[in-house]
Amino acid sequence: MSERKVIVDGQALTINDVCGIAGQQQTLTLSAKKSFVRRIDKGAEFIDSLLQEEGCVYGVTTGYGDSCTVSIPLHQVEELPKHLYTFHGCGLGKHFDSEQTRAILMVRLNSLAQGFSGVRYLLLQQITGLLQQDILPLIPEEGSVGASGDLTPLSYLAAVLAGEREVLYQGKVQATADVFKQLKIIPLVLKPKEGLAIMNGTAVMTAIACLAYQRAAYLSQLCTRITSLASIALKGNAYHFDEKLFSVKPHNGQIKTAQRMRADLQLSAEAPRNDSRLQDRYSLRCAPHVIGVLEDTLPWFKQFIENELNSANDNPIIDAEGEHVLHGGHFYGGHIAFAMDSMKTVVANMADLMDRQMAQLMDTKFNHGLPANLSGACAEQAMLNHGFKAIQIAVSAWTAEALKNTMPASVFSRSTECHNQDKVSMGTIAARDCIRVLELTEQVASAMLMAVVQGVELRGRNELLGAALKTTMQQVRDKVDFLETDRAMEQELRLCMQLIRDRHWSLYE
Give the domain ranges of the chain: 5-201, 209-501
SS3 for 165-203 is CEEEECCEEEEHHHHHHHHCCCCCCCCCCHHHHHHCCCH
Which residues fall within 8 angstroms of residue 255, CB to CB, at 6 or more apart?
A: 246, 247, 288, 292
Question: d(Cα 233, Cα 32) in Å, to the nearest integer?
Answer: 58
Are 392 and 359 in contact by the 8 Å Cβ rule? The answer is: yes
Closest CA relative to residue 263, chosen from 221, 306, 233: 221
Closest CA relative to residue 391, chosen from 447, 330, 312, 475: 447
Three-state DSSP class for residue 488: coil
Which residues fall within 8 angstroms of residue 238, CB to CB, at 6 or more apart?
A: 231, 261, 262, 265, 267, 274
Check residue 418 and give its pLDDT: 72
Chain segment 90-143, per-residue pLDDT in tens: 999 999 999 999 999 999 999 999 999 999 999 999 999 999 999 999 999 999
Check residue 2 and give its pLDDT: 46
What is the chain's percent helix, strand, coil content, to nearest 5?
Answer: 55, 5, 35
User: Looking at residues 281-309, what average pLDDT do you find?
Assistant: 97
Check residue 293 and give its pLDDT: 98
Which CATH number applies to 209-501: 1.10.8.80, 1.10.10.10, 1.10.220.110, 1.20.200.10? Answer: 1.20.200.10
Check residue 423 and give its pLDDT: 76
Chain segment 303-342, per-residue pLDDT in tens: 999 999 999 999 899 999 998 888 888 898 999 999 999 9
Question: d(Cα 300, Cα 340) in Å, to the nearest integer?
Answer: 12
How far apart, in Å, are the Cα atoms of 241 and each of 265, 269, 279, 360, 362?
Answer: 10, 12, 12, 19, 24
Are 291 and 246 in contact by the 8 Å Cβ rule? The answer is: no
Which residues fall within 8 angstroms of residue 475, CB to CB, at 6 or more apart?
A: 504, 505, 506
Check residue 413 and give its pLDDT: 79
Are 230 and 452 in contact by the 8 Å Cβ rule? The answer is: yes
Question: d(Cα 305, Cα 434) in Å, to the nearest integer?
Answer: 14
Chain segment 21-46, per-residue pLDDT in tens: 999 999 999 999 999 999 999 999 99
Check residue 75 and give its pLDDT: 63
What is the residue-averaged pLDDT of the chain?
91
The arrangement of strands across the sheet holding 172-175 comes to: 136-137, 166-169, 172-175
Question: d(Cα 112, Cα 29) in Å, to the nearest integer?
Answer: 15
How far apart, in Å, are the Cα atoms of 238 and each of 234, 241, 258, 397?
Answer: 11, 6, 10, 30
Check residue 421 and give its pLDDT: 73
Question: d(Cα 33, Cα 38) in Å, to the nearest integer?
Answer: 9
Check residue 1 and give its pLDDT: 43
Are 415 and 343 in contact by the 8 Å Cβ rule? The answer is: no
Closest CA relative to residue 195, chosen from 137, 155, 141: 155
The distance between the two most distant Cα atoms of the chain, rounded to a whole number of Å, is: 92
Closest CA relative to residue 139, chosen from 233, 65, 204: 204
Residue 173 scores a pLDDT above 60: yes
Question: d(Cα 322, Cα 124) in Å, to the nearest integer?
Answer: 22
Closest CA relative to residue 116, chosen from 309, 328, 313, 307: 313
Indicate the DSSP class of residue 73. Answer: P
193 or 210, which is more confident? 210
Chain segment 428-482, per-residue pLDDT in tens: 999 999 999 999 999 999 999 999 999 999 998 677 799 999 999 999 999 999 9
Are 473 and 459 in contact by the 8 Å Cβ rule? The answer is: no
- Establish whether 58 is a catalytic residue: yes
By the 10 Å C-beta count (0-12 exposed, 13-18 middle, 19+ buried), 23 is classed as middle
Check residue 429 and give its pLDDT: 96
CA triple 146-149-150, angle to 5 deg: 80
Cis bond upstream, residue 316 (ω within 30): yes
Task: Count other C-beta atoms under 10 Å from residue 381's C-beta.
Answer: 13
Query: Which of 47-61, 316-330, 341-355, 376-390 is least confident?
Result: 47-61
- In the chain, the amino acid numbered 492 is E
Chain segment 484-498, per-residue pLDDT in tens: 889 999 999 999 999
Check residue 65 and give its pLDDT: 57
Residue 500 — very low, low, confident or very high, per pLDDT cuts 50/70/90?
A: very high
Closest CA relative to residue 343, chosen from 400, 290, 306, 297: 297
Check residue 370 and give its pLDDT: 94
Closest CA relative to residue 288, chosen from 237, 349, 224, 356: 224
User: Looking at residues 262-286, what average pLDDT do you find?
Assistant: 76
Indicate the DSSP class of residue 85. Answer: H
Check residue 192 and give its pLDDT: 85
Are 135 and 51 in contact by the 8 Å Cβ rule? The answer is: no
Q: In this structure, what are the phi and psi dihedrals at residue 369, rounded to the nearest 5 degrees?
A: 100, 0
- In the chain, the amino acid numbered 178 is D
- Percent over 90 (pLDDT), the chain: 77
Q: What are the beta bridge partners of residue 325?
A: 318
Which CATH number applies to 5-201: 1.10.357.10, 1.10.275.10, 1.10.3720.10, 3.10.129.10? Answer: 1.10.275.10
Check residue 49 and give its pLDDT: 86
Residue 219 scores a pLDDT above 70: yes
Check residue 4 and give its pLDDT: 86
Check residue 318 and give its pLDDT: 93
Are 91 and 152 in contact by the 8 Å Cβ rule? The answer is: yes
